[in-house]
Amino acid sequence: MRTVLFICTGNTCRSPMAEGIARKLAQEGAFGPEGRGYFFASAGTQAFEHAPISNETAEVLESLGAPHDGHSMRLNAEMIRRADLVLGMTGSHVGRAKALVSGDDAAESKIHLLDPDGDIADPIGRGSAAYEALSRELLEILPARITSLLRDAQASRGVLDSKGTLPETLSP
């Protein structure tokens, strides 16, 4: 089982939407056959424990048929250490996550910006159209980004074969 952790500020909009969409994409095979063995979670750098996700986030996820847990969790160092990949919505989120595990090179190396081209805008307070736009952005970014970063992590641990693929015995 590979764990992908999405992080934002309050864990009520962007990261739970990414989590739900990633779960749906995995069910649909967007990450290849190994993606069915991925576990997706989310947390917030400043989240209030067990706060509900925003109504707009819930509505978008429901319209997509994407599963979600519906409550927030505050990011901690143990979450980062247990994850295989940590994806922050902004450079600030990445910086906060790295600060939580400062000095732990292995943990820091798995923290990345979700969109390599820049920050994912916060839709809070901008209406349902902003949430729908966010869902389209995530649907576009997630498959290639997660697949690429998890493959790179495998390669850095030296487990890919000479063709750059996972050996049969390591596939989930």
Q: Amino acid identity of 99?
A: A
Predicted local distance difference test score (pLDDT) of residue 29:
94
- CATH number of the domain bearing residue 165: 3.40.50.2300
Among 8, 23, 115, 145, the one annotated catalytic: 8
Residues 95-132 have pLDDT tens digits of 999 999 999 999 999 999 999 999 999 999 999 999 99
What phi and psi, each to the nearest 5 degrees, are found at residue 30?
-65, -20
Predicted local distance difference test score (pLDDT) of residue 55:
94
Residues 50-104 have pLDDT tens digits of 999 999 999 999 999 998 877 899 999 999 999 999 999 999 999 999 999 999 9
Q: Domain total for the chain? A: 1
Residue 68 corresponds to which tokens in the numbers above? 């979600």
Among 74, 84, 122, 151, the one annotated catalytic: 122
Predicted local distance difference test score (pLDDT) of residue 155:
67
**Who has greater pLDDT, 156 or 25?**
25
Among 2, 14, 23, 96, the one annotated catalytic: 14
What's the average model confidence in pLDDT over 155-170? 47
Which structural domain, as residue segments, surrounds residue 113?
A: 2-170
Q: How far is CA 39 from each of CA 79, 99, 121, 128, 136, rounded to the nearest angstrom?
A: 13, 24, 24, 28, 21
Q: How many other CB atoms are found less than 10 A from the CB of residue 40?
A: 23
Determine whether 14 is an active site residue. Answer: yes
Determine whether 8 is an active site residue. Answer: yes
What phi and psi, each to the nearest 5 degrees, are found at residue 111?
-100, 125
Secondary structure class of 30 (helix, strand, coil) = coil
Predicted confidence band at 170 (pLDDT cuts at 50, 70, 90)? very low
Q: Tell me if 87 sits within 8 A of 5, measured CB to CB.
A: yes
User: Average pLDDT over the chain, rounded to whole?
Assistant: 90
Determine whether 122 is an active site residue. Answer: yes
Predicted local distance difference test score (pLDDT) of residue 68:
83
Buried b / exposed e across 98-122, counting CB within 10 Å, b at 16+? bebbeeeeebbebbbbbbeeebbeb
